[in-house]
Amino acid sequence: MLKEVLQFLKHPVYEPDENRDLGYRITVFVRLLILSLAISIVIGIVIGGLESLVNIDLGQHAMDLLLEQYSLTFIGFLAIVVAPLLEEFFFRGPLVFFKKSSFFKLIFYLFTLAFGFYHITNFEITTTILVLSPLLVAPQLSVGVFLGFIRVRFGLIWAILLHACYNLVLVGPILLLRVLDIPLE
């Protein structure tokens, strides 16, 4: 599956997958979810290691602010429902308008980069954050490729579902720890 995604990344083409079998699509979906999570977690570990090793101050993350200001239900709804819907409509939805265009490859890359770098807003913007931004948004850049892949192959709904499940797996444990009153640090 990773090989197929990497080939798509090298030369993105708007070619929907003709296989409509739900079992097949769920299998591909689960594989993409596992791959995107694994890559994001590895990148997160690298970022955390770099932060500790070089003693970099990344400031307060947006999730910390949300946890201070809003209910867990609201945060969960925002991360698992609202963000996937809005971000997929905005960053992957328009790909359909370029499906027959010779510019599809460029448009795909631009929307993927925009999606990734949009997430730099999760950090307090400082010179350090801007310099490290390619690394800090690398998880979102990588998941953006998987979201774009599934959007082109299976449709926008599948990209929304993948995004929602991805966020659930990453945000869910944080919310659960809060519910159980277990400190995050």
Q: What is the pLDDT of residues 121-158, one digit of tens each?
A: 999 999 989 999 999 999 999 999 999 999 999 999 99
Q: According to the model, what pLDDT value does residue 185 have?
A: 66
Confirm whether 8 is domain-assigned.
Answer: no
- Write the DSSP string, the chain: -HHHHHHHHHS----------HHHHHHHHHHHHHHHHHHHHHHHHHHHHHHHHTT------HHHHHHHHS-HHHHHHIIIIIHHHHHHHHHTGGGGGGTTSTTHHHHHHHHHHHHHHHGGGGS---HHHHHHHHHHTHHHHHHHHHHHHHHHHH-HHHHHHHHHHHHHHHHHHHHHHHHTT----
Confirm whether 138 is domain-assigned.
Answer: yes
Confirm whether 4 is domain-assigned.
Answer: no
Confirm whether 172 is domain-assigned.
Answer: yes
Confirm whether 7 is domain-assigned.
Answer: no
Question: Domain range holding 119?
Answer: 21-179
Distance between CA atoms of residues 95 and 78, nearest Å: 24
- pLDDT exceeds cutoff 80 at 38: yes
- pLDDT exceeds cutoff 90 at 31: yes
| Residue corresponding to tokens 């500790």 | 52
Residues 14/152, Cβ–Cβ less than 8 Å: yes
Banded pLDDT at 181 (limits 50, 70, 90): confident
Burial of 136 (0-12, 13-18, 19+ CB in 10 A): buried
Q: According to the model, what pLDDT value does residue 180 have?
A: 86
Confirm whether 103 is domain-assigned.
Answer: yes
Give the tens place of pLDDT for each residue, 77-96.
999 999 999 999 999 999 99
Confirm whether 150 is domain-assigned.
Answer: yes
Give the tens place of pLDDT for each residue, 56-79.
888 888 988 898 999 999 999 999
Domain count, the chain: 1
Q: What is the mean pLDDT of residues 17-44?
A: 97
